[in-house]
């Protein structure tokens, strides 16, 4: 069985050991053909609190860790630019 994997942007890191990751998916509208961008937000486990807002991260599906948390941060793809 394949492991589900997503790449997205960290939009919140205010919780302890948890980040909110926004994943964009681009699909074609079934009738009009225009590209539609849909955003889904996942709560992911971040054990070391290493992620900052704006980081691009890879998340993997895992067992339920809490009521809403079913993903964990695998690695940080790109760090946010220090501003």
Q: Can you give the CATH number for the domain in which 34 is found?
A: 2.40.50.140
Residue 83 in domain? no
- Stated pTM of the model: 0.89
Residue 28 in domain? yes
Residue 70 in domain? yes
> Of 22, 55, 25, which Cα lies nearest the Cα of 37?
25
Residue 56 in domain? yes
Count of domains for the chain:
1
Domain membership of residue 22 as a residue range: 5-78
Residue 68 in domain? yes
Average per-residue pLDDT for the chain: 95
62: phi then psi, degrees, rounded to nearest 5: -145, -175
Residue 82: which pLDDT band, with cuts at 50, 70 and 90?
low
Residue 52 in domain? yes
Residue 32 in domain? yes
| Tokens of residue 47, six digits | 């054990």
């Amino acid at each position: 069985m394949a492991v589900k994997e997503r790449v997205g942007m960290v939009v919140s890191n205010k919780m302890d050991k948890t980040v909110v990751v926004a994943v964009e998916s681009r699909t074609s509208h079934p009738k009009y053909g225009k590209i539609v961008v849909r955003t889904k937000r996942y709560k992911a486990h971040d054990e070391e609190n290493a992620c900052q807002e704006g980081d691009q991260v890879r998340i993997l599906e895992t067992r339920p860790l809490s009521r809403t948390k079913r993903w964990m941060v695998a690695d940080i793809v790109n760090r946010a630019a220090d501003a």
